[in-house]
Amino acid sequence: MDNFPEDLKYHKEHMWVRDDGTIGITDYAQEQLGEIVFIEVPDEGTAIEAGEPFGEIESRKSVSDLYAPVSGTIKEVNAEVVDAPEIINEDPYGKGWIAVVDMSDPSELDNLLTAAEYKELVAGEENK
């Protein structure tokens, strides 16, 4: 469960972003959701705003918003996860990426959590 790649930045709503603008949900999030059955992501060219919902992810247990970790325009959507969302359960940091964002302000990465900070956040949630 302690899967927090150091090269990623994390949003408190359990999203991750790579410095190239690739975004996805964290291993912790996919574990909490359980079996993911559907994902809805806007089309390429859609503008998204950091901290705002931009899509939905649905599991057998619940439906959750996907929150944008950074602002920008969706450059690419991972068609594989749209067709087979369970890939996110299997490989949330690899093949299970959700989209690539052309970041409008890369300095927003500085406002996100490091792997250590995100790990602390998750530990706090588990102790509730």
pLDDT digit string, tens, across residues 29-80? 999 999 999 999 999 999 999 999 999 999 999 999 999 999 999 999 999 9
CATH of 9-105, one of 3.40.1790.10, 2.40.50.100, 3.90.550.10, 3.30.720.200: 2.40.50.100
| Residue 95: partners with Cβ closer than 8 Å, 6 or more residues away | 80, 81, 87
Every domain of the chain and the residues it spans: 9-105
pLDDT of residue 128: 67
Q: Which long-range contacts (CB under 8 A, 24 or more apart) does 77-84 make?
A: 77/41, 77/42, 77/43, 77/44, 81/39, 82/39, 82/41
Q: In the prediction, which pLDDT does 2 show?
A: 60
φ, ψ dihedrals at 86, nearest 5°: -65, -15
- The answer to whether residues 63 and 57 touch, using CB atoms and an 8 Å cutoff, is yes
DSSP 42-76: PPTT-EE-TTSEEEEEEESS-EEEEEPSS-EEEEE
Over the stretch 77-122, which tens digit does the pLDDT of each residue have?
Answer: 999 999 999 999 999 999 999 999 999 999 999 999 999 999 999 9
* pTM of the predicted model as reported, rounded to 2 decimal places: 0.95
Burial label, 35 (beta-carbon count in 10 A; 0-12, 13-18, 19+): exposed
**pLDDT band at residue 127, thresholds of 50, 70 and 90?**
confident
Q: Are strands 22-25 and 99-103 parallel, antiparallel or unpaired?
A: antiparallel
